[in-house]
Amino acid sequence: MPRLREYRHYLAKINRRRELESVFLFVTSRCNSVCRTCFYWDQLNSNQDLTFEQIETVSRTAPQFGKLWLSGGEPFLRPELAEIITLFVRNNGVRHVNLPTNGLLPQRTDEVIGQVLAACPELTVDLNFSLDGLASTHDTLRGVPKNFARTLETIERMEKKYGGARRLRRNVVSVITTENYRELVELGLRMLDGGKASGHYFEIIRGNPMDPELKRIPRTVLRDLHRRLFHLHEHYAGRLFEDLPAAMRWFGKMYYLGNLRLHFDIHEQCHYEPKRWPMRCTAGETSVVIDHNGEFRACELRSALGRVQDFACNLTQVLASPRMSAEVRAIPEANCWCTHSCFIHDSAKFSPRVILFSLPWRYLKSRIGRLPRARAEEMERFRMPAPV
């Protein structure tokens, strides 16, 4: 069974060497939203996107790596999006693509996903729809009237057409802010009850957003919200591993939920003050970020180190450059411990101590004193309390 083989392959890499695993590529600065949560807002619609030929050179000169994280702007506004994904699959052995979207382009989304799944039969795609609250709250945060309804329509369209395609995970991702935290459990319950999402993930707002006031969330509120949301994650974990043998199903759920608990623990600490992660940050070693205009950096939240154009778009030379080497040496002492789950997850994979001890322990702690299980009609107890 393919997913079991993939999981065994993951376990075989517990003591892996630190080498390129993930490329974060901003395929365009074009965007059709005005999100107040966006940390990239001052770079949008700048008309400086890398050409397809430059991206092709980046791919051709890059080493082999497993995961391509796409970003923007709105990635589906990039005309050659399907071709770009296929490039990295064929040239670099990419087996997993993370593809975020605001869900405003249903026809375009359908076309790209269809092309990619047909051209790349070994590829798994996480298609992540942004929903940051219930209808009016989401539309206000995103700056687009009827955005919530249009995104739901796109999710339903993709579920009807690709619901049986296990290589396509149709996820919802929600950014936690001061304006939406009371609605997120309700949103999560609606998406879970509807059965149209493969998973639902929650990220604390990060970076320097357009509206900094959205970051002012009390620590106790965030901790209580995470406790309630974890119940939803347990349900999704059950679906994710349901086709595995019983022993492997438990093992998969343990590491999946242990990872989510690790992310929540780091969010609850580092959103308020930097605190060292339980593993080394491997940004710049196992991951690299390439902005829409070719600027490269070790992490989305650190300063640009130059442009790939300075190295004739040769990514291998970029990774081996003195600039990147100096950045990798600086990161452990920079005290910039962040809440960016992509880099938390990427770094944790290269820490045997976290894999063997921290994740199982966090999973076990999450099971002790957890909220009781409930059927859908009993889930009222998990909603956030009304403001005092």
Residue 204 CB contacts under 8 Å (≥ 6 apart), including other chains: 175, 176, 217, 222, 267, 271, 339
Residue 24 CB contacts under 8 Å (≥ 6 apart), including other chains: 69, 71, 287, 288, 289, 290, 300, 342
CA distance 314 to 56: 10
Helix, strand, or coil here: 283?
strand
Note the pLDDT of residue 247: 78
User: Is residue 180 within a helix (H) or strand (E), and if so which, with residue range?
Assistant: none
Q: How do the residues of the chain divide into helix, strand and coil, expressed in percent and rounded to 5?
A: 50, 10, 40
Q: Which two tokens stand for residue 102?
A: 């605001």
Residue 68 CB contacts under 8 Å (≥ 6 apart), including other chains: 22, 23, 25, 85, 88, 92, 94, 96, 97, 98
**CA geometry: angle at 356 spanning 350 and 358, to 5°?**
90
Question: How many helices (H) and strands (E) are present in the chain, helices listed first?
Answer: 14, 9
CA distance 234 to 6: 21
List the chain pLDDT tens, one digit each, 388 residues.
445 555 565 566 677 789 999 999 999 999 999 999 999 999 999 999 999 999 999 999 999 999 999 999 999 999 999 999 999 999 999 999 999 999 999 999 999 999 999 999 999 999 999 999 999 999 999 999 999 999 999 999 999 999 889 899 999 999 999 999 999 999 999 999 988 899 999 999 999 999 999 999 999 999 999 999 999 999 999 989 988 888 788 889 999 999 999 999 999 999 999 999 999 999 999 999 999 999 999 999 999 999 999 999 999 999 999 999 999 999 988 988 999 999 999 999 999 999 999 999 999 988 875 544 444 444 555 555 544 3
User: Is residue 224 within a helix (H) or strand (E), and if so which, with residue range?
Assistant: helix 219-240
- The closest of 292, 340, 309, 287 to 42, measured between CA atoms, is 292
Note the pLDDT of residue 388: 36
The CATH code of the domain at 2-10+20-382 is 3.20.20
Q: What single DSSP character describes residue 387?
A: P
Burial, 39: exposed, middle or buried (Cβ in 10 Å; 0-12, 13-18, 19+)? middle
CA distance 135 to 138: 5
* Beta-strand pair 295-297/306-307: antiparallel
CA distance 328 to 337: 14
DSSP assignment of 31-45, as one string? -S---TT-SSGGGTT
- Cα 137 to Cα 35, 183, 187, 216: the distances in Å are 12, 9, 11, 17
Q: How many residues can be counted in the chain?
A: 388
Helix, strand, or coil here: 72?
coil
Q: Which two tokens stand for residue 246?
A: 């019983």
Note the pLDDT of residue 374: 42
- Cα 61 to Cα 58, 66, 125, 132, 284: the distances in Å are 5, 15, 23, 38, 17
Note the pLDDT of residue 34: 96
CA distance 177 to 383: 16
Q: Dihedral of the CA atoms 156, 159, 161, 166 (nearest 10)?
A: 170
Helix, strand, or coil here: 96?
strand
